[in-house]
Structure 1
Amino acid sequence: MTPPVDPSLNRRKLRLALRQARERAGLSQREAAERIEWSQSKLIRVETGTVSVSVSDLRALLSLYAITEPDQVHELEEAARGSKGPSWWSTYHDVVTPQFAQYLGYESAATSLHTYHPIVVPGHLQTRAYAEALLAPRGLSPERVGRIVDLRMERQRRMLDGPRRPGVTFVLDEAAVRRRIGGARVLGEQLGQLLDFGARDDVAVRVLPFEAGAHYSTLGSFVLLGFPDDDDLLYLEHAAGSMTGGEDLELLARYQECFQEITALALDDTESLDLIDRIKEDLGTR
C-alpha cells in the first residue's frame, strides 16, 4: 500500500502554486493580504510552507488569483486537506531544532541530494553504532543519544529505502573514511555499510583523496538539494545550520561550482569503493 503523502509535501505544493499564482496576478504579498483581509504575516507563512492551509482559506486565494480550472482546484483542495497534521520528524521534536525541521521538509521533497563531508560519515549513511560513538563525547544523556540516533536511522530509511528515493551523491573526504570513530570494529561495520550503499544504482559514494589538496569547502560540510519545480537549496551544516536558495544566488552558485570541483577531484565510483574496501581490510575486522 502506498504510504500517505507527508503533510510537509502538501504544504510545499501549495506554497509553490500559490506564490506563482500571486506573481502571475501581479500582486505583492502585502496587496494580496489586504484584498482578502489577512495579515501579511499569515500569507508569508502560507507561501513559506510553514503552516497548513484550510480549504476555506485556499478558496479565498484561488478566487483572488482567478484560478477556476476544475482539476487544478480539486488538486489544490486535496493538498490543503493533506497539509494538516504533523510531519514524520515531529515525533522527534525534542531533538530537532526549528531550523533543521524546516530543512527536513525541503529534503523530503528533493529529487536530488549532493553533499560533501570532510571529517565524518554523514548521518544519512551512518550505522547505529557509528552514530552512537560519534555522539559519545558530547556528554548527552543516554536517552537523548538514543533519540538522536533513532531520528538518523528513520531519516536514512526514508531517504534510501522509501518510495520517494532521490538521486544522491555523497562525496566523503578520505579523512572521513579513515577516522576511527568508535574503534576498528565500529568503523569496519560502517565501511561495510558504505560499500553496500555505494553498490546501489541510485546512490553514489565518492572519496576525495588526501592528494586532492585545498578547495573552497575544505573546512565545512554542505548539502545541495535539487527540485524539478523550484530553486536549488544550499544547507550549510554547522551548530545552528543555515539555508539559502533564491535569496542568495551568488553563494548558491559558488557551492554548486564547489561541488563540481570536488566531484572532479574525487576518485570515481569504482576507485572509491576499492579504497573503502582496502581501508576496511586493513582494520582486520570482518
Structure 2
Amino acid sequence: MTQKIDPSLNRRKLRLALRRAREDASLSQREAAEQIEWSQSKLIRVETGTVGVSVVDLRALLALYGVSDPEEVQALEQAARGSKGSSWWSGYHGILSPQFAQYLGYEGAASSLHTYHPIVVPGHLQTRAYAEALLGPRDLNRDTFQKVVNLRMERQQRMFGEAGQPACTFVLDESAVRRQIGGKQVLKEQLDHLLELGSRPQVSVRVLPFEAGAHYSTLGSFVLLSFPDDADLLYLEHAAGSMTGGEDMELLARYQECFEVITDLALDEPQSADLISRVQQDLGVR
C-alpha cells in the first residue's frame, strides 16, 4: 500500500515550486499578489508552507507564472489536493509551539539530520521511561505529561521506523550518557536503546568525551537539517525554539562549522559504543 504523504510535505513541495516559478517569472510577491487579486499575506503564507493551496488557486498562479508543462502541472495539482488537512502532530496541538510544529514539518522532509546535545539524551533517541523521568520535575498535568511523552515516541517511530528516513548523526556529550535520569535501571535501558539505534546503517551515535575540553557549543543544543532541494536549516533548541536558513547564512555557517569541530573532537562510532557499554557496566544492574 502506498504511504500517505503528510500534508506538510505537500505544502513544502508547493512552497518551493511556486517560489521558484515566481522568481523565474521575475515577479515580486507584491506584484504576483496584485495580478491575481490576492492579499500579499496570502501569497506569503503559501510560499512559507504554512497553509495549503486549492487547485483553483494553484492554476491561477501557474498561469501567471507561465508554467504549462503537463507533467509538472499534474504533479503540483496532486500536491495541492494533498496539502489540506492535518499533519501527524496535529493531535498534539495544545503542547506544541507554532515554531516547533513548523520545525517538525521540515524535519519530516530532511535528507539528513545532525544534532548535538550537551546535557541529556535528545528526544529523538529517548526511551519512554527516560522521557517520563526527564519530564517528571516539570510538574505538568497528567494529560499534558502523557501527550509530550507520546509525541516523542511517535516522532521517533516516524524517524526510525519508516522508509525514507534521513541519515542521522547524533553527538552526545559524555555527561548525557552518564547522567542517571530516572535511576540506574532506566539509564541502562536508555543506553541499550542508544546502542541499538547506533548500530543501524543510517544512524551515527557519537560521544564527545570529557577530555575534549572547552569547545564551540558548550552552551546549548542545536539541530542542522539538510535537504536535496532547499537550503540547509538550523534549529536552536531553547524555551521558544528558533529556526534560521537562507535568511541568516552567517549564523547557519557558524553552527555548521561548530558541528564539524564537535564531530572531530568526538569519539568515532565504535569508540562511542565502547564508552556507552562501559557506562552500562559501571551501573552494576542487569
1:141 CA drift (Å): 1.5
**Cα-to-partner distance string for 1:170-192 (whole Å, 9 max, x where unaligned):** 00000000000001010010000
**Cα-to-partner distance string for 1:254-276 (whole Å, 9 max, x where unaligned):** 00000000000000000000000
In the alignment, what sits opposite 2:128?
128
For 2:11 and 2:156, the matched residues in 1 are separated by: 22
For 2:41 and 2:215, the matched residues in 1 are separated by: 41
In the alignment, what sits opposite 2:222?
222
In the alignment, what sits opposite 1:161?
161
For 1:197 and 1:17, the matched residues in 2 are separated by: 35
For 1:141 and 1:167, the matched residues in 2 are separated by: 35
Q: Which amino acid aligns with 1:240?
A: A
1:144 CA drift (Å): 1.3
In the alignment, what sits opposite 1:173?
173
SS of 1:93's partner is: helix
In the alignment, what sits opposite 1:285?
285
Q: Which amino acid aligns with 2:262?
A: I
SS of 2:94's partner is: coil
SS of 1:163's partner is: coil
In the alignment, what sits opposite 1:274?
274
**Cα-to-partner distance string for 1:30-60 (whole Å, 9 max, x where unaligned):** 0100010100000000000000100000000
Q: Which runs of 4+ in 1 moved over 6 A?
A: none
Q: Gaps (5+ residues) in structure 1?
A: none
Identity, in percent, stands at 74
TM value normalised by structure 2: 0.99
For 1:262 and 1:154, the matched residues in 2 are separated by: 29
For 2:40 and 2:285, the matched residues in 1 are separated by: 60
1:2 CA drift (Å): 2.7
In the alignment, what sits opposite 1:35?
35
In the alignment, what sits opposite 1:203?
203
**Cα-to-partner distance string for 1:240-265 (whole Å, 9 max, x where unaligned):** 00000000000000000000000000
For 1:103 and 1:285, the matched residues in 2 are separated by: 38
Q: Gaps (5+ residues) in structure 2?
A: none
For 2:2 and 2:180, the matched residues in 1 are separated by: 40
For 1:137 and 1:252, the matched residues in 2 are separated by: 33
For 2:52 and 2:60, the matched residues in 1 are separated by: 15
**Cα-to-partner distance string for 1:184-234 (whole Å, 9 max, x where unaligned):** 010010000000001111100000001111112111000000001000000
Within 5 Å, give how 1:1-286 maps onto structure 2: 1-286=1-286
CA RMSD of aligned residues (A): 0.6
Q: Which amino acid aligns with 1:277?
A: S
Q: Which amino acid aligns with 1:183?
A: G
Q: How many residues align?
A: 286
SS of 1:94's partner is: helix
For 1:100 and 1:164, the matched residues in 2 are separated by: 22
Q: Which amino acid aligns with 1:210?
A: F
1:97 CA drift (Å): 1.1
Q: Which amino acid aligns with 1:217?
A: S
1:70 CA drift (Å): 0.3
SS of 1:205's partner is: strand
1:142 CA drift (Å): 2.1
1:164 CA drift (Å): 2.2
SS of 1:193's partner is: helix
For 2:38 and 2:216, the matched residues in 1 are separated by: 44
For 1:173 and 1:23, the matched residues in 2 are separated by: 43
